[in-house]
């Protein structure tokens, strides 16, 4: 197996390691005061919180370890600008065990992530926020689906966003050429979103690091290193800031169905609210 981006290449962008302060990203944490939250709640029927969940894992030689968190935050921030929701700070370390072969990757157990989201939801309910939408930026956070299943079975209002259909609708809206199967990691979608939101964090190299590995049936057993040397699976050379902007717009559009669902009176009856857009209607403008 070969790729235009090797493991040695991935280390070339770290020349300044240990030489002064490391760069950080401003604007990731909400700046609400308790008065802001109280005022927003006063005008809402049912309160909804949005929790971005990312990861801290390798994304090839040109995207930061925090890429999934940055993507989840970008989606959540756009949602918060369009809907009356409480934006929460992100969960920045999650389940990235398949990337353990690369330096910098940090993981927590699925049990810990499950407990964190469950505890956050319970705390929100105690303060009067009935509904929680988890915005997931990392495909390896499989346990989030279990958290939502168990919570809704217990009668709590919770949803996981975006679904595969939402990713696909956003991809089509933005003109992303790579399929979701091929665009697995640090590819056209993630690179486009960062080129739009945080272009200063995208280092040189994405133009020449395309690598495809569509048959990944043993990924859970062998990890990412069995399928890519660079850590990249996708076509980042096709990324653009314009695509990133349209991807986020697509997610904002799709979120309307989720907001209708978790705030609807029909929730307690187990029925789909009539005002909720159909799958066709929510597939893009």
pTM given for the model:
0.88
- Please state, in angstroms and rounded to a whole number, the distance separating the CA atoms of residues 90 and 196: 19
Q: How confident is the model at residue 232 (pLDDT cuts 50, 70, 90)?
A: very high
- Please state, in angstroms and rounded to a whole number, the distance separating the CA atoms of residues 113 and 277: 31
Q: 């992303």: which residue's tokens?
A: 176
Q: How confident is the model at residue 268 (pLDDT cuts 50, 70, 90)?
A: confident
Interval 127-148: pLDDT, tens: 999 999 999 999 999 999 999 9
**134: which strand partners?**
51, 160
Residue-averaged pLDDT of the chain: 89
Q: How confident is the model at residue 7 (pLDDT cuts 50, 70, 90)?
A: very low
- Please state, in angstroms and rounded to a whole number, the distance separating the CA atoms of residues 191 and 209: 12
- Please state, in angstroms and rounded to a whole number, the distance separating the CA atoms of residues 154 and 148: 10
Task: Flag whether pLDDT at 118 surpasses 90.
Answer: yes
Among candidate residues 190, 220, 152, the one with its CA nearest the CA of residue 55:
190
Q: 């995207």: which residue's tokens?
A: 63
**51: which strand partners?**
134
Interval 61-112: pLDDT, tens: 999 999 999 999 999 999 999 999 999 999 999 999 999 999 999 999 999 9
pLDDT (mean) for 253-257: 98
**233: which strand partners?**
185
Among candidate residues 134, 130, 85, 133, the one with its CA nearest the CA of residue 113:
134
In this prediction, what percent of the chain has a pLDDT beyond 90?
A: 80
Q: What is the pLDDT at residue 74?
A: 98
């Amino acid at each position: 197996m070969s790729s235009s981006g090797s493991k040695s290449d991935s280390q070339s962008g770290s020349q300044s390691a240990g030489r002064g302060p490391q760069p950080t990203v401003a604007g990731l944490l909400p700046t609400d005061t308790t008065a802001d939250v109280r005022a927003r709640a006063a005008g809402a029927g049912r309160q909804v919180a949005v929790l971005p969940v990312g990861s801290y894992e390798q994304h090839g030689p040109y995207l930061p370890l925090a890429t999934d968190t940055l993507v989840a935050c970008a989606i959540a921030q756009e949602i918060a600008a369009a809907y009356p929701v409480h934006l929460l700070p992100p969960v920045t370390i999650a389940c990235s065990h398949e990337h353990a072969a690369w330096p910098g990757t940090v993981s927590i157990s699925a049990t810990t992530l499950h407990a964190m989201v469950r505890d956050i939801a319970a705390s929100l309910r105690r303060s009067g926020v009935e509904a929680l939408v988890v915005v997931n930026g990392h495909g390896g956070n499989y346990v989030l689906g279990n958290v939502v299943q168990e919570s809704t079975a217990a009668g709590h209002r919770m949803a996981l966003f975006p679904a595969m259909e939402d990713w696909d609708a956003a991809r089509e809206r933005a003109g992303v050429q790579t399929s979701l199967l091929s665009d697995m990691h640090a590819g056209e979608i993630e690179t486009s979103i960062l080129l739009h939101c945080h272009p200063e964090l995208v280092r040189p190299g994405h133009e020449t690091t395309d690598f495809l590995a569509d048959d990944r049936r043993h990924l859970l057993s062998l990890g990412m290193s069995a399928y890519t040397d660079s850590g990249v699976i996708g076509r980042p050379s096709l990324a653009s800031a314009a695509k990133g902007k349209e991807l986020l717009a697509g997610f904002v559009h799709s979120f309307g169905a989720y907001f209708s669902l978790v705030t609807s009176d029909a929730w307690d009856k187990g029925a789909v609210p009539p005002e909720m857009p159909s799958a066709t209607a929510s597939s893009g403008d």
